[in-house]
């Protein structure tokens, strides 16, 4: 990034050369030289910037594809494990265990469906891909049946909601220290209360300084359309309220 900006600035500053010649000796030649030089600098800057942004887009697209592949592979691995456990119960002729395993699979499918129906692509992708990244925080997501936000929030509000959720989860993630191999749990719930959507965060385990965590969350929502309320430090619990457009 710095080298790219440095090249652009160096090329733009090169205009001082013909400009100095024009100031030192004003002739038709120096005027034409300055005009051609400026045109060349503008053309170079335009095409160089466009190529740079195209390269950034390719990198972002590749990063997104890699994240999607990790998510798909992680889900595939989970499904294979569930199927192997179910197959083992069937082979051992344990119908009760088999039924319980099928019920767990159905619950996971139903949860994935409810998450997808939230309708905000960035939020859905974040929630479904969180498990694929190595983390000392396990995210347990709960979504109220029938909750859909796509037709209730503008695209800008949807991105704001995603940003607040991601930053709040990150605050919980780095708010406490755990021993190597230990994992803390954060329960994230989405429910609807009349004309509002409630997003609750409930941490399980040590979360460092509760007052500092509370301050971080209030800073995250500052200036946003949602507000933090019902803070319970002893339970590391906070509830965010966001009005919905009806």
CATH classification at residue 195? 3.30.565.10
Whether residue 43 is contained in a domain is answered as no
Name the strand (E) or helix (H) holding 26.
Answer: none
Going by C-beta distance under 8 Å and a sequence separation of 6 or more, which residues neighbour residue 38?
A: 15
Q: CA 71, 56, 5: angle at the middle one, nearest 5?
A: 145
pTM for this model (two decimals) = 0.69
Mean pLDDT by 10 residues, the chain (246 residues): 59 65 69 72 74 72 64 72 85 87 87 89 88 76 89 87 92 67 81 87 74 85 84 78 73
Count of structural domains, the chain = 1
Identify the pLDDT of residue 32.
76
DSSP β-ladder status, 137-143 and 184-193: parallel
Q: Looking at the DSSP assignment, which residues form a beta bridge with residue 243? A: 196
Whether residue 199 is contained in a domain is answered as yes
Question: Domain range for residue 220?
Answer: 120-245
Q: In Å, how far are 85, 174, 176, 177 from 209, measured between CA atoms? A: 41, 11, 8, 10
Whether residue 185 is contained in a domain is answered as yes
Identify the pLDDT of residue 246.
45
**SS3 of residue 118 by DSSP:** coil
Going by C-beta distance under 8 Å and a sequence separation of 6 or more, which residues neighbour residue 52?
A: 4
Identify the pLDDT of residue 161.
92
Whether residue 93 is contained in a domain is answered as no
Q: How far is CA 235 from the centre of its chain?
A: 25
Identify the pLDDT of residue 200.
92
Name the strand (E) or helix (H) holding 211.
Answer: helix 210-221
């Amino acid at each position: 990034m710095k080298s790219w900006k440095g090249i652009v600035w160096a090329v733009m500053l090169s205009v001082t050369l013909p400009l100095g010649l024009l100031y030192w000796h004003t002739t038709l030649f120096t005027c034409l030289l300055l005009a051609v030089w400026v045109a060349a600098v503008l053309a170079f800057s335009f095409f160089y910037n466009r190529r740079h942004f195209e390269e950034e887009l390719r990198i972002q697209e590749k990063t997104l594809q890699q994240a999607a592949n990790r998510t798909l592979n992680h889900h595939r691995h989970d499904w294979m494990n569930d199927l192997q456990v179910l197959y083992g119960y069937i082979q051992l002729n344990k119908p009760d265990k088999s039924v319980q395993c099928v019920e767990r699979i159905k619950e996971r499918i139903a949860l994935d469906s409810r998450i997808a129906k939230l309708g905000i692509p960035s939020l859905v992708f974040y929630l479904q891909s969180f498990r694929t990244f190595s983390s000392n925080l396990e995210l347990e997501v709960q979504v109220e049946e029938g909750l859909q936000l796509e037709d209730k929030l503008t695209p800008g509000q949807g991105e704001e909601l995603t940003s607040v959720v991601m930053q709040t989860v990150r605050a919980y993630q780095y708010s406490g220290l755990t021993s190597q191999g230990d994992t803390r749990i954060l329960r994230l719930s989405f429910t609807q209360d009349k004309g509002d959507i409630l997003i609750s965060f409930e941490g399980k385990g040590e979360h460092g300084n509760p007052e500092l965590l509370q301050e971080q969350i209030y800073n995250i929502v500052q200036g946003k359309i949602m507000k933090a309320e019902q803070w319970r430090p002893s339970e590391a619990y906070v509830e965010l309220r966001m009005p919905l457009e009806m």
